[in-house]
Structure 1
Amino acid sequence: MSLTLTVSDEVRALVPGFTHLAVEAHGLVNGPSDEASSALLDDATRRLAERLDGQAPDKDPHIAAWRAAYTAFGAKPSRTRNSAEALARRALADGGLPRVNRIVDAYNAISVAHLIPAGGEDLDRVQGAMSLVRATGDEPFVTMAGGEETVEHPEPGEIVWRDDAGVTCRRWNWRQGPRTRIDHDTVNVIFLLESLAPMARGELMAAGTELAESLEKLSPGVRITVGTPA
């Protein structure tokens, strides 16, 4: 891995069952959603429905663990849902999953199929190392509001991903900022797959391997490194 990722001791102490897996990809070819990326989303929705067997996503033990983690750092999990639960709810609703672009579709499919939060950051826009920390409340989070760029700040104690320039994702994996977001010109990406107990490390690794396989099909020639769960 060329990008340094760290998890603070404060986060480890608050949520001791947290594990993450990094998948780094170089030489991706992105573009609008197409038949291949849509097929990944459709298959993920089918697998999700089989896994839940008629239950709501929050009844799944892994999603329940994420809700407890959000409560632990002061977030309301029914109002600011983790990304896996939010996507799962959309997948099962009328209209289904959004089609964003080929790369985002690929990791959204992994998130839904495995019920794990998954995100992607444009490596060429990340500044320095990335860390999962409890915010002081002073960190800048650049986002869009009403079509205008604006700067927000996380709440003190909120768990955030950040780099040297500021927060890249608020409330752990709730809302990503536009600075490092994947767009049609993105070619190099760090994907972060995140799990909590009771999910086994082997299942997280299987999700990372599946993501790598999907990216290789969408972008032949891409160079991918799958880390080990940490």
Structure 2
Amino acid sequence: MQFRHHPRLRADFPTLVAGTLRLDGVTPDAPADPSPWLDRARARLAGTAEGQLPAVQAWRRAFAAMGLKPTQYRCASESLLRRLRREGDLPSLHPLVDLCNAVSAAYAIPVAALDLDRITGDLEVRRAAGTERYDTFGGDVEHPEPGEVVFVDGAGRAHARRWTNRQSGWSAIGAGTRRAFIVTEALHEDAADDVAALLADLAGALRATWPAATLVEDRPAAAAQA
């Protein structure tokens, strides 16, 4: 499976930096420990509201540029930080999801984890035609608005809506997941350094949690390198 951002999308968002991980050998009963990154996120929230963090502000500007109200549709990392601030913790869903969510909150950068076996062909981040199929976590089927930024595979299935706002239930990590594709994207000034650090932290956590698994890391890619 090849992953890419459409050239027009990269042209519209020239500061975009993305990096990916592929993990083969996921199990649902691994003893993951997300607490170090949740503690780091709590420490950041103690001094700064999530909406003031540079990484979050960059996504708010991107959502506004896409015609979305940033306080109605938030990037995934901002939503996690809001929940962490309000509730003091994040729910435990699956060891892989828990680690990805915790590292995402620590860096305030969205991290998406997808079941690789639920993706058909290549995966591209592009503007929707409006015909793509999106399966919600509740089992409903939606069709993205034309021009909306989505993750689309070779079968025309949308695995995320509004870019980093909401993933699909179709490829959500679950008990049966064995192979995962993880992507992180950032737009702020220090995105290249922060994405590289995020990937290093997450890769280390994944190796510690699934030492027998195969992990492949792609170096962060900036728009100018596409």
* Moved beyond 3 Å, runs of 4+: none
Give me the whole-angstrom Cα distance separating, in 1, the residues matched to 2:190 and 2:45: 15
Match of 2:149 in 1: 159
For 1:83-94, what aligned pairs fall within 5 Å after superposition? 83-94=76-87
1:195 to 181, 186, 189: 186
Quote the Cα distance in structure 2 between the aligned partners of 1:27 and 1:200. Answer: 29
Q: For 1:144 and 1:99, how far apart are their aligned partners in 2?
A: 17
Structure 1 residue runs of 5 or longer lacking an equivalent are none
Which letter maps to 1:155? E
Instruction: Please say if 1:216 is aligned against 2:214.
Output: no
Q: Paired residue for 2:62, among 69, 85, 104?
A: 69
TM-superposed deviation, 1:138: 1.7
What is the Cα deviation at residue 79 of structure 1?
0.9
Q: CA-atom RMSD, angstroms?
A: 1.5
Find the counterpart in structure 2 of residue 130 from structure 1. 123
Q: Is the 8 A contact 1:107 1:119 kept in 2?
A: yes
Give me the whole-angstrom Cα distance separating, in 2, the residues matched to 1:111 and 1:69.
Answer: 18
Aligned to 2:224: none
Q: What amino acid is the match of 1:26?
A: D
Sequence identity percentage = 33
Hey, what's the Cα distance between the residues in 2 that align with 1:49 and 1:102?
20
Amino acid at match of 1:161: F
1:1-230 matches, cutoff 5 A: 3-31=1-29, 36-37=31-32, 39-40=33-34, 42-145=35-138, 149-165=139-155, 166-230=157-221
Q: What SS does the corresponding residue of 1:179 show, helix, strand or coil? A: coil
Amino acid at match of 1:66: W
| Structure-2 separation of matches of 1:88 and 1:198 | 20
May I ask how many residue pairs the two structures share in their alignment? 220
SS at match of 1:168: strand
